[in-house]
Amino acid sequence: MAGNPQLLYLCCSVLILAAVPVIYRLCRGRSQALTALDGFVFVSMGGIILLDFLPHAIETGGWLCVLFAVVGVGLPTVIERRGHKAGEHFHRAALYLGLLGLLIHSMLDGAYLGSSGNDPGLLPLAVILHRLPVGLTVWWLVRWSRGRGTALLLLAALGALTALGYFAGSGFLDGLEGRGLAWFQSLVAGSLFHVVLHRSHGAFPEDGSAPAGKLPLSASGVGGFLGLGLLVFLLSGDAHLGEPGGFRESFLNLALQSAPMLLLGYFLAGLVAVFLPVSSVRWLGGGSSASQALRGVAIGLPLPVCSCGVVPLYRALVERGVPATAALAFLVATPEIGADAVLLSLPLLGGPFTLMRI
């Protein structure tokens, strides 16, 4: 095995599935540990679906995959709200479809490991590590609804199909390419995301002695933070085939660029919601509509917030009772007419053109 690293990768990917029941057994009877595990599964698996499964399908099947994913998420949700019995049937169908997708994906994982060669990079490690949230999700969804035996059988099936994909090799990957498969994967991703969302509360009925609302939120946050850390590691490494896909790379770059401004926007929105005095709201609402708009522009002008971060600020202003005219002027002016842009426009365009730009 030392001379065949791919076989070692395969064994590690199967052993990590075998560790899933042990992890849950160690957490049994400990509400904080179970809640942390719940948060880890929810964040890590939700992120893998949205940032790995779906973007990979879009690269092959185009943007129509988004429609299939929306159908996978929305159709069971709508039917569950219309009728309880029909909703249960569709939720069960979404569960089965999601599990089928995970089984198919395990074959792809095995094929990726078999075609990785002597790659010393992050590809094999990323494939192995992302098997942990996949296995935890299967146990999380099936153990308390279908029994321990069914959950163990599904974990064994995941391992067996991984080995099957490994020995089938790269030819198996070539045979599975196509838009139809990408559309199916998108539908499966949506269905699985619906099931994960539906299962995100009360996932451990037989061990939860405390009410769901009294389980420690800090433990769930710690688990979610660990899941987020795993996601960052997986997505910062190589893509499945060792070549970063265009959609995934663009999505991650945009997310990293917009994240600081989003955090700033939500932070400022929290300050507005808590500390904005009533007198400021009255000042924004005074005078004519044109006066309100100018006041909204005046407040938004010095704020260094981009278009992605201004939305939570706008909502906070509206909730505090700021008139729509002033709030809309703030919404438009803040990302488009920054103080730095005005100062730069003055020497380049002159006063009249700068005024026209504003």
pLDDT at 32 over 60: yes
Is the domain of 269 the same as that of 322? yes
For the chain, the first-to-last Cα distance in angstroms comes to 68
Q: Residue 169: which region, alpha, beta or left (left: phi > 0; alpha: psi -120 to 50)?
A: left
Q: Is residue 251 part of a domain?
A: no
Predicted confidence at residue 342, as pLDDT, reads 59
Q: What is the mean pLDDT of residues 224-234?
A: 80
d(CA 45, CA 37): 12
pTM > 0.75: yes or no: no
Q: Is residue 288 part of a domain?
A: yes
Give a yes or no: residue 252 inside a domain: no
Of 199, 214, 244, the residue that ends a domain is 244
Q: Are residues 34 and 140 in the same domain?
A: yes
User: Same structural domain for residues 269 and 218?
Assistant: no
Query: Does residue 298 register a pLDDT over 70?
Result: yes
238 with 266, same domain: the answer is no
More confident site: 214 or 270: 270
Lowest mean pLDDT across 16-30, 33-47, 142-156, 307-321 = 307-321
Q: pLDDT category, 203, cuts 50, 70, 90?
A: very low
Predicted confidence at residue 121, as pLDDT, reads 52
Q: Are residues 210 and 267 in the same domain?
A: no
Question: Which region among 9-13, 27-31, 251-255, 261-265 has the lowest average model confidence (pLDDT)?
Answer: 261-265
The residue from 213, 244, 275 where one domain ends is: 244
Structure confidence at residue 123 (pLDDT) = 63
Q: Decide if 323 is inside a domain.
A: yes
Q: Do 107 and 238 belong to one domain? A: yes
pLDDT at 86: 58
| pLDDT at position 209 | 45
d(CA 316, CA 67): 31
Task: State whether 48 and 102 are in the same domain.
Answer: yes
Give the three-state DSSP class for 4: coil
User: Sorting pLDDT into bands at 50, 70 and 90, what band is 309?
Assistant: low
* Cβ–Cβ < 8 Å for 140, 41: yes
Q: Is residue 249 part of a domain?
A: no
Q: Does residue 70 surpass a pLDDT of 70?
A: yes
Segment 157-179, tens digit of pLDDT: 999 988 888 887 666 555 556 67
pLDDT bucket at 153, cuts 50 / 70 / 90:
very high
How many structural domains are present in the chain? Answer: 2
Pick the range with the lowest mean pLDDT from 53-62, 165-174, 210-219, 309-318: 210-219
Across residues 39-63, what is the average pLDDT?
Answer: 81
Residues 304 and 184 in one domain: no
Residue 229: inside a domain, yes or no?
yes
Q: Is residue 292 in a domain?
A: yes
pLDDT at 85 exceeding the cut of 60: no
CA angle 29, 31, 35 (to 5 degrees): 130
Segment 108-127 mean pLDDT: 67
- Residue 253 placed within a domain: no
Instruction: Give percent above pLDDT 90 in the chain.
Output: 1
| Same domain, yes or no: 227 and 106 | yes
Answer yes or no: do 46 and 176 share one domain. yes
**18 and 125 co-located in one domain:** yes
Of 195, 215, 244, the position where a domain reaches its end is: 244
DSSP-assigned letters across all residues of 167-196: HHTHHHHHHT-SHHHHHHHHHHHHHHHHHH
Contact predicate 55/170, CB 8 Å? no
Residue 260's pLDDT band, with cuts at 50, 70 and 90, is low
pLDDT band with cut points at 50, 70 and 90 for residue 261: low
Q: What average pLDDT does the segment 80-90 reach?
A: 61
Angle at 233 between CA 230 and CA 238, to 5 degrees: 135
Host domain of residue 136: 5-244
Question: How crowded is residue 294: how many other Cβ atoms within 10 Å of its Cβ?
Answer: 16
Same domain, 222 and 270: no
What local confidence, expressed as pLDDT, does residue 213 receive?
A: 45
